[in-house]
Amino acid sequence: MTVDQIPSVVDRRGSAPAAGSAASRPRTSIATRRHRAFYMFASPWIIGFALLTIAPMAYALWLSFTTFDGISPRWHYVGFGNYRELFSDAQTWKSLGRTGLFAITSVPLSIIAGLGLAVLVNRPLKARGLFRTLLYLPAVVPPVGAGIAFKQLFDQNSGAANGVLNLFGIDALGWLADPYARYVLIMTVLWTAGNIMIISLAGLQDIPREFLEAARIDGASAWRSFRSITVPLLSPVLLFQTVTGVIASVQTIMPLLLAPDPTPAGITALPQSTYLYMMHVFAEYFAFGRYGYASALLWVLFVLILVATGLIFKATSGVVFYNVDPEAKK
Residue 83 or residue 288: which is nearer to other proteins going by CB? 288
Residue 226 or residue 288: which is nearer to other proteins going by CB? 288
The least CB distance from residue 141 to other proteins, in Å, is 18
For residues 300 and 85, give the distance between their C-alpha atoms in angstroms, rounded to a whole number: 12
Residue 69 or residue 309: which is nearer to other proteins going by CB? 69
Residues that bind other proteins (CB under 8 A): 67, 69-75, 91, 151-152, 155-159, 162, 166, 171-174, 176-177, 260-261, 263-266, 268-269, 272, 283, 285-290
Residue 132 or residue 151: which is nearer to other proteins going by CB? 151
For residues 275 and 277, give the distance between their C-alpha atoms in angstroms, rounded to a whole number: 7
The least CB distance from residue 70 to other proteins, in Å, is 4
The least CB distance from residue 264 to other proteins, in Å, is 6
Residue 74 or residue 123: which is nearer to other proteins going by CB? 74
The least CB distance from residue 48 to other proteins, in Å, is 20
Residue 38 or residue 62: which is nearer to other proteins going by CB? 62
The least CB distance from residue 295 to other proteins, in Å, is 13
Q: Are 175 and 184 in contact (CB under 8 A)?
A: yes
The least CB distance from residue 248 to other proteins, in Å, is 23
Residue 162 or residue 200: which is nearer to other proteins going by CB? 162
The least CB distance from residue 262 to other proteins, in Å, is 9
